[in-house]
Amino acid sequence: MNFTTKVPIAKSNFPIDYSSQIVALGSCFAENMGEKFDFNKFQNTTNPFGIIFNPVSIEKILERAIHLNYFTETDLFFHNELWHCYEVHSDLSQPNKEAMLSNLNRLLTEMNSKLAAATHLFITYGTSWVYQLKASNSVVANCHKVAQDQFEKVIISGTEIENAIQNSIDLIQKFNPKCQVVFTVSPVRHIKDGFVENQRSKANLISAMHTSISQNPTLSYFPSYEIVMDELRDYRFYAQDLLHPNAVAIDYIWERFCESNITDAAQQVMQEVESIQKGMAHRPFHPDSISHSKFLQKLKEKSAQLEAQYPYMKF
């Protein structure tokens, strides 16, 4: 796609290559980027505790992982035949308390190791609106379909977001000083909050992020929100709900991301990976033919060559 007006994106001083180890945390947009990293066989970990939308909850899970502050039974509660934890997504809820606790702490240990080795940490914030549990006055990452009268919905201020961002930065930089932190705002609009309320929410996030970045030149910002709002400002780039970017939009955002954040050498490897991935996904009309057999052999040779060069790659 060619656009006459493009959102300017500065080239990263610390671009990603195939030796990079990436951790991505945040909203569902982080999941979209995680899928791209997976497809292109980068070493990455995306949202081990599920999608988390707000800065306070992301700070909380980072602190837990870095300090290995393990979950205990007091962090769990039983509701609708499942055990839940307010700090993680409902995808991790289980009917067995001991199994859930064991799984959460296993993920915590793994996240600690991943953050210790990470070269890049991508944090995508989705909203400034949060739910506070009235019983403890604490912000939750997920309400787990608990009755709404148990929560108070509030918008966190720019100052509160700045504090959460700064605490997150301090945590990772003390734990792993070599890790490069990249922030972004999810382009997904939270219209259930209201049109005006969504704009307020995104404005708080963007303002707080840029305040933090301006004070720390090692941090960077990728304008995914601005790309969708200003370059892809047409409903043909949205999914059926008219809120989430569709596959075409995600591909375009990824293209802009690669231009600014991935080395030229890595992009050449990506082309080889894509060729293999597409070849493996191909469904032939005549699977028993000699030509298809030769095609599979070439595919096997190409994948073996890449796996020998990058042992962590598995096709």
pLDDT at 55: 97
CA distance 6 to 12: 17
pLDDT at 81: 96
Say if 261 falls within a structural domain. no
| Cβ atoms of 125 and 212 closer than 8 Å | no
pLDDT at 148: 94
Say if 183 falls within a structural domain. yes
| Cβ atoms of 188 and 195 closer than 8 Å | no
pLDDT at 267: 97
pLDDT at 52: 97
Domains held by the chain: number = 1
Say if 220 falls within a structural domain. yes
Say if 33 falls within a structural domain. yes
pLDDT at 294: 86
For residue 154, the domain's CATH number is 3.40.50
Q: Calculate the average pLDDT of the chain.
A: 94
CA distance 77 to 140: 13
pLDDT at 162: 95
Task: Look at the block and give the residue holding tokens 């610390």.
Answer: 14
Say if 136 falls within a structural domain. yes
pLDDT at 2: 61
**Positions of the chain with pLDDT lower than 70, given as ranges:** 1-4
Say if 248 falls within a structural domain. no
pLDDT at 4: 59
CA count, 13 A, side-chain hemisphere, 99: 7
Closest CA to 228 of 261, 204, 257: 257
Say if 160 falls within a structural domain. yes
Burial code (b: 16+ CB inside 10 Å, e: under 16) for 231-250 equals bbeeeebbeeeeebbbeebb
Say if 244 falls within a structural domain. no
Task: Please report how the helices 247-261 and 28-39 are oriented relative to each other, as an axis angle in degrees rounded to 10.
Answer: 70
Domain membership of residue 113 as a residue range: 21-225
